[in-house]
Structure 1
Amino acid sequence: MNLVFFNNTTLAWLTAFGIAAGVALALYIAKKVGVHHMRTLAARTETRLDDIAVEALDGTRPLAIVIMGLFAGSKALTLPPAVHLFATRAAIVTGLIQAALWGNRALRAWLTDYYQNRAGDPARATSAAAVGFIARTVLWAVLLLMVLDNLGVNITTLVASLGIGGIAVALAVQNILGDLFASLSIVLDKPFVIGDFIIVDKFLGTVEYVGLKTTRLRSLGGEQLVFSNADLLKSRLQNMTRMTRRRAAFTVGVTYDTPTAKLRLIPAMLTEIVKSQEPVTFDRAHFSGMAASSLNFDVVYWVETADFVRYADIQQEIYLQIMDRFAALGIEFAFPTQTLLVRDARETEPSAPAP
């Protein structure tokens, strides 16, 4: 026991190995017991945060436990300053890497849960993928900087260089970055999602894909329309899928020779026809004006559904009933006409003087 190896007795080495084994075993048992109890507790709750925490903790690497045990055991030894510094830095680097692995595993668990709960919403899956990619990049970039700083590297110059380089790269790829941030804006703010029918300026179609750079629509003609995300957000956009009701307005014109008594019947008749449809909310029907060749009546109503086919069916039925009722009352629809008044020029010629 009095033998000396590297300035430490055999007893000191045995003690160090015992401490290392004890700490490693204690950490391993703590991990197993902690994960088991946390998983049991998480099964009783509705929130997913505890489940994600369990998944992260379950990702503790055995190598990290062993290194932490060896570091604890090294404290019982008399080591040269260089070796002690190496052991300390190795333990810190191991801890940082393990923390990054916990964060990466937690992020992956969150993404998996996000995908499962929103399997019918591909747009949110796209947003989760984009956010996950950025979060992973930031996580490992911060880890790299912390490891380099722990190893004694002066990261101030490196960070400054990265900042300058980042500005240069950002200027070079500003269009791509603009589309990327526009994509995040689309998937987080959700002006539309996959499956929505939208109108962008003079283009219209169904959203098929929301990517990191482009959004793709399938037009009514069958071709695919591709928009950059930045340009899409700058445009005036109409989301027809989120329409809850449709406003309908039309004008009926009758001839000028229609008797006043019949003209007075028309607003009530139009009101009755519109109100007989379902689901329709009547707004108004009025004699609105006297045009060049017609007496006009305006009708406004709301169809309480976003279904265009149902809207078209209701509109068709209203028009047909109007035609039937007008025919029954002998009311004629007006059409563009002109009355040409021809005057006999001989009637305007001055009479010749008497001889």
Structure 2
Amino acid sequence: MDYILLGNDLTTWAIAIGIAAAVCVALSTVNSLVARRLAAFAQHTATYVDDVAAKVLSKTSFLFILAMGIYAGAQWLDLTPKAAILLRNFAITVLLLQVARWADIGVRGWLNRYRELRGAQDVAATTSTAALGFVVRAALWLIIALMILDNFGVNITTLVASLGIGGIAVALAVQNILGDLFSSLSILLDKPFVVGDYIVVDGIGGTVEYVGLKTTRIRSLDGEQIVFSNSDILKARIHNIKRMQTRRVAFTIGVTYDVTEEQLEAIPGMLKEIVSAQQKVRFDRAHFRAYGPSSLDFEVVYVVETADYGLYMDIQQAINIALFKRFARAGIEFAYPTQTIKVANPELLRGAAANVEEYGERAPRERTLPPRAH
């Protein structure tokens, strides 16, 4: 006697259960085999993609495998349309949840890897990547939740519109905070600077100490800490001094008007010879630039092939000392601010000086007194 259970006989049920068991065993075996092979392969490679893939596969849920097996076995059964739809929706829901879990583990693995690589150089990486991870994971689970609701026939259009209106209201209320938050993510991804860089923002310079969710803090040369909001700092022009590759130097020297014509013509050559003799320096030019109020001015330009400020100062000091010695040997004098006053009648000035020297003071001027009344 054949027994009928939910519209199917026992033989049909046995075949369906066998298919479900076979699919579960096959999926579990393949997943374990691929995960082990990937883990073994990842140990011999420098990339992190295979490590993440092995970790993701190792987190495959048994519920997912069981649901796929049940769904495969149920295809052999004769189900009512309502039961078939319910079973299909259940399988799709489990699949979406498993995909979300895989993606969540992948995002967390990538963020942990980033923090391991950048944590020593960029102290703020932990905070910034935590914010980025929260935003990405929240968006991921929100999308999965909407897809599950849509799978069960829920009209998500109104829900999405409501979320959009509510999101706009919330965004308007906390727009400054959100602006700084997204600016923090922009700094993290674009990397105009990192912790340890010396930057100049709106004429204010210092070493970056911390990049947070809302503010960036730099330490100035005077020792005080200067705090910028992330939005303001990205709106300004940022000069990253640490990433300077070369340093262009221009300086001016002045000599007195007493130099001869031969000395004047020889000075540019002297300057070129002295600058070119320095290490890690590329000479650019040396010219007699202008007639100054009390000096003949020469401009020298050279390029230091490194950004090291201490080395630049050592080079400039060596150039200054060499110039002092070379000019001294050539009889060329450095100019200093002087002013010459020319008198229209020098004879009168010399006469007045002689009168002071003879009498010790200027002779008093004669005065005519008015006659006394009788």
| TM-score above 0.5, yes or no | yes
8 Å Cα contact 1:180-1:212 kept in structure 2: yes
TM-score (norm 1): 0.86
Counterparts of 1:189 and 1:336, CA distance in 2: 50
Counterparts of 1:125 and 1:234, CA distance in 2: 24
Alpha-carbon deviation of 1:187? 2.6
* Partner of residue 58, structure 2: 58
Deviation digits for residues 181-225 of structure 1, max 9, x if unmatched? 322332322222221111111211111222232222111122221
1:34 equivalent in alignment to 2:34: yes
1:285 equivalent in alignment to 2:286: yes
Q: How does 1:127-138 map to 2 (within 5 A)?
A: 128-138=129-139
1:270 equivalent in alignment to 2:271: yes
Q: 1:273 to 1:143 in 2, by over 3 A?
A: same
Amino acid aligned to 2:30: A
Alpha-carbon deviation of 1:96? 0.8
Secondary structure (helix, strand or coil) at the match of 1:225 reads strand
Amino acid aligned to 1:307: D
Secondary structure (helix, strand or coil) at the match of 2:332 reads coil
Amino acid aligned to 2:142: A
1:299 equivalent in alignment to 2:300: yes
Secondary structure (helix, strand or coil) at the match of 2:259 reads coil
TM-score (norm 2): 0.82
Counterparts of 1:119 and 1:177, CA distance in 2: 24
Which ranges of structure 2 fall in alignment gaps of 5 or more residues? Answer: 349-374
Q: Which piece of structure 1 moves more, 238-247 or 74-83? A: 74-83
Q: Which piece of structure 1 moves more, 70-79 or 269-278? A: 70-79
Alpha-carbon deviation of 1:313? 1.2
Alpha-carbon deviation of 1:44? 5.6
Counterparts of 2:44 and 2:112, CA distance in 1: 20
Q: Which piece of structure 1 moves more, 18-27 or 93-102? A: 18-27
Q: How does 1:1-355 map to 2 (within 5 A)?
A: 2-3=2-3, 9-42=9-42, 47-77=47-77, 82-122=82-122, 128-344=129-345
Secondary structure (helix, strand or coil) at the match of 2:315 reads helix
Deviation digits for residues 100-120 of structure 1, max 9, x if unmatched? 111112222323333344455
Amino acid aligned to 1:206: T
Deviation digits for residues 149-201 of structure 1, max 9, x if unmatched? 12222111001111222222222222223223322332322222221111111
Q: 1:277 to 1:44 in 2, by over 3 A?
A: closer
Amino acid aligned to 1:305: T
Counterparts of 2:38 and 2:347, CA distance in 1: 112
Counterparts of 2:155 and 2:21, CA distance in 1: 35
Q: Which piece of structure 1 moves more, 176-185 or 224-233? A: 176-185
8 Å Cα contact 1:126-1:187 kept in structure 2: no
Counterparts of 2:321 and 2:27, CA distance in 1: 82
Alpha-carbon deviation of 1:3? 4.6
Counterparts of 2:179 and 2:127, CA distance in 1: 17
Amino acid aligned to 1:297: F
Alpha-carbon deviation of 1:126? 6.1
Secondary structure (helix, strand or coil) at the match of 2:242 reads coil
Q: Which piece of structure 1 moves more, 99-108 or 45-54? A: 45-54
Alpha-carbon deviation of 1:325? 2.5
Counterparts of 1:37 and 1:285, CA distance in 2: 67
Which ranges of structure 1 fall in alignment gaps of 5 or more residues? Answer: 348-355
Counterparts of 1:120 and 1:324, CA distance in 2: 48
Q: Which piece of structure 1 moves more, 312-321 or 13-22? A: 13-22
Q: Which piece of structure 1 moves more, 182-191 or 144-153? A: 182-191
Q: 1:65 to 1:346 in 2, by over 3 A?
A: closer
8 Å Cα contact 1:267-1:287 kept in structure 2: yes
Give the RMSD, CA atoms, in angstroms: 2.8
Deviation digits for residues 54-80 of structure 1, max 9, x if unmatched? 222221111222233333344455555
Counterparts of 1:42 and 1:71, CA distance in 2: 33
When Rg is computed on C-alpha atoms for both structures, the one with the higher figure is 2
Amino acid aligned to 1:35: A
Amino acid aligned to 2:166: G
Alpha-carbon deviation of 1:43? 5.0
Secondary structure (helix, strand or coil) at the match of 1:241 reads helix
Alpha-carbon deviation of 1:312? 0.8
Q: 1:327 to 1:46 in 2, by over 3 A?
A: closer
Counterparts of 1:244 and 1:86, CA distance in 2: 65
Q: Which piece of structure 1 moves more, 114-123 or 175-184? A: 114-123
Alpha-carbon deviation of 1:13? 4.6
8 Å Cα contact 1:127-1:188 kept in structure 2: no
